[in-house]
Amino acid sequence: MIPKSHPRYESLLLRDKMVKAAQEGYLADSALIAHGRGEAFDYLIGEKTTYPAKRAMYVAVAALLLSNNPVISVNGNATALAIDEIIELANAIDAKIEINLFYRTDERVKLITQLYKNHGYKNILGTLDDDIEYINDIPNNRATASKSGIYSADTILIPLEDGDRAEILKKGGKNIITIDLNPLSRTSKMSDVSIMDNIVRAIPFMTKIAEDLKTQDKKVLIDMVNDFDNEENLKESLEQIRIKE
Ligand code: PTJ
């Protein structure tokens, strides 16, 4: 039990979730390394949501609400850290959720499918019995996608995604939104909207934004998306990383 008074309470709580998920067997072998990298970047931004991240989140939600077939792609790490929050966001923006694993094994897909079902989300895509296609006909594990999900999606939210996979989606003509604490990652650079924030803060914040933007005129949302410059916003995100005592 971590005492609430511990100065690193929130961070230790997330570590606990990751360790528990690893023990349950649904994380990739390198999941804890990826988490550690995220932690380091989070530390450098003061473990707070920055202004450029908030701006990117507004644009991301606008883009998702404007889409015909929005999909939230989930892997082991995202599931371990924010399963309930992801389900809430999907319901708020009327998006599908698809299991999309970089290190895909049948066993992990089975365990993650069951988790979403146990948490009340029945229509999870990317399962073992789903209709899987290859994006751009690339015969490679990284190009697999559910026919009614990522394969036919126009906008995809890909939190904590690997660069190779992001590149395949981008080449497939998808509008890509990422949540990635590393503003220098290939995924962040390649995406149309990059949110440099911790998934545990970003997803609930996006659900709140959705409640607000849903009542806005479509034209307002279109203008938000068109006025956004991801490269510029990433530059501003990077400026939030300050090494000071
Ligand atoms: O479950 P799988 O098989 O799909 O594998 C998942 C991982 C994350 C292991 C896999 O996709 C991977 O290796 O990813 P990378 O290339 O390490 O990229 C993950 C990115 O997420 C890195 O840039 C991290 O900085 C970032 N990251 C880690 N934790 C968080 C995060 N970003 C936001 N919130 C976090 N909590």
Does pLDDT of 155 surpass 90? yes
Q: Do the bridges between strand 132-134 and strand 144-146 make them parallel or antiparallel, or are there none, so unpaired?
A: antiparallel
Q: Span 105-128, mean pLDDT?
A: 97
Q: What is the arithmetic mean of pLDDT over 101-124? A: 96
What per-residue confidence (pLDDT) applies to 9? 85
By residue count, the chain amounts to 245
Whether residue 245 has pLDDT greater than 70: no
The distance from CA 204 to its chain's CA centroid, rounded to whole angstroms, is 12
For the chain, the structural domain boundaries read: 51-239
Name the more confident of 64 and 162. 64
Pocket of ligand 1 (CB under 6 A): 28, 30-31, 34-35, 37-38, 41, 75-77, 81, 101-103, 160-162, 179-182, 185, 198-199
CB burial of residue 157 (10 Å; 0-12, 13-18, 19+): buried
The average confidence (pLDDT) of the chain is 95
Span 43-80, pLDDT tens digits = 999 999 999 999 999 999 999 999 999 999 999 999 99
Residue 123, CA atoms < 13 Å, CB-side half-sphere: 11
Residue 2, pLDDT score:
79
Give mean pLDDT, residues 99-110.
95
- Mean per-residue pLDDT, 187-215: 98
**Separation CA 204–CA 211 (nearest Å):** 11
Query: Which atom of ligand 1 is closest in space to residue 197's alpha carbon?
Result: 33
Tell me the CATH class for 51-239.
alpha beta
